[in-house]
Amino acid sequence: MTNAPILKLDHLGVTFPNNPVFSDLNLTIRQGEVWSIIGKNGVGKTTLMRTLLHQLRPTQGKVTYLPSVNDVRIGYVPQFRNIDADYPLTIRDFIGLNLTGWKLPWLSAKERAKVQRIIEQTGLTELANRPIGQASGGEKQKAYLAQALVEAPNLLILDESTASLDPVTKTELLDLVTELNQRLNLTVLFVTHDIPMAQKYTHQYLMMTPGKVEQGPISQLTDDKVWEGENV
């Protein structure tokens, strides 16, 4: 499996009126790497993710998705969002939304096969026909993950996706992401406040603090660095 660069940030910066969020960020991410993006609330983690998703235009530098991987496809899993109990879709239909928007149930045979494959890969087979509004929080978040994966991305962004889950469900979800990373060479960016989970499940870290960004192998994320990041 290749570990070619998939994403490069060159002197990247974002400034809102009278509020510089971050600046001069340089970073290269390779295919198959798992990165944790850590830092206190308000330091720019979500702003960085929105910039990577082209939802925000940087005020400095640039984001480059490198051609060495031919086609960069991004899957995005948000922080847990509750779904009303009377939401009118099954888990299977919810996953299919990422293929056709609101054109359900007119999925092609190829699209239905994609949905079925990701249902099996994410362990949702027995739950696929359950109304998603009646699923547990962990099952809903797993459905969000499956929805993000149905188009076979090679870059997956988990934006505080496990923040509201109990420890057992959080571990199950991240074990699944790890298995997909290893089997599919999937690149993962994991935005989190959970340092022990970052140390267990990621290879590299990017720690954002006001006016400073630090990066390196996760093995170098010491308690002193974590304390400094939390108390800046």
Which residues have a Cβ under 8 Å from the Cβ of 152 and sit 6 or more positions away?
73, 114
Residues 140 and 180 both lie in one domain: no
Number of domains in the chain: 2
Residues 200 and 226 both lie in one domain: yes
Structural domain includes residue 144: yes
Mean of the pLDDT values across residues 31-47? 91
| pLDDT tens figures, 63-75 | 988 765 557 789 9
Query: If residue 36 lies in a helix (H) or strand (E), which one and from where to where?
Result: strand 34-38
**CATH number of the structural domain spanning residue 67:** 3.40.50.300
Mean of the pLDDT values across residues 213-219? 91
Q: Is the pLDDT of residue 130 over 70?
A: yes
Q: How confident is the model at residue 232 (pLDDT cuts 50, 70, 90)?
A: very low
- Pair 39, 62: CB distance under 8 Å: no
19-30 and 204-209 beta bridge pairing: unpaired
Q: Is the pLDDT of residue 104 over 60?
A: no
Average pLDDT, the chain: 87
Range from 63-77, 80-94, 209-223 carrying the lowest mean pLDDT: 63-77
Residues 132 and 90 both lie in one domain: yes
Side by side, the strands of the sheet bearing 19-30 are 19-30, 5-16, 60-65
Residues 67 and 168 both lie in one domain: yes
Residues 58 and 167 both lie in one domain: yes
Q: How confident is the model at residue 177 (pLDDT cuts 50, 70, 90)?
A: very high
Q: How confident is the model at residue 145 (pLDDT cuts 50, 70, 90)?
A: very high
Residues 97 and 137 both lie in one domain: yes
Structural domain includes residue 79: no
**Residue finishing a domain among 132, 152, 172:** 152
d(CA 160, CA 46): 9
Share of residues in the chain with pLDDT > 70 (%): 91
Structural domain includes residue 167: yes
Residues 118 and 26 both lie in one domain: no
Q: How confident is the model at residue 118 (pLDDT cuts 50, 70, 90)?
A: very high
Structural domain includes residue 226: yes
Q: Is the pLDDT of residue 142 over 70?
A: yes
**pLDDT value at residue 1:** 53
**Residue finishing a domain among 104, 128, 152:** 152
Residues 116 and 217 both lie in one domain: no
> Is 150 in a helix, a strand, or coil?
coil
Range of the domain at 200: 1-73+153-232
More confident of the two residues 52 and 227: 52
Residues 110 and 143 both lie in one domain: yes
CA atoms within 13 A on the CB side of 109: 0
Residues 174 and 63 both lie in one domain: yes
Mean of the pLDDT values across residues 147-176? 89
Side by side, the strands of the sheet bearing 212-217 are 74-77, 155-159, 187-191, 34-38, 204-209, 212-217
Structural domain includes residue 78: no
Q: What would the two tokens of residue 82 be? A: 């509750």
Residues 55 and 103 both lie in one domain: no
- Pair 47, 55: CB distance under 8 Å: no
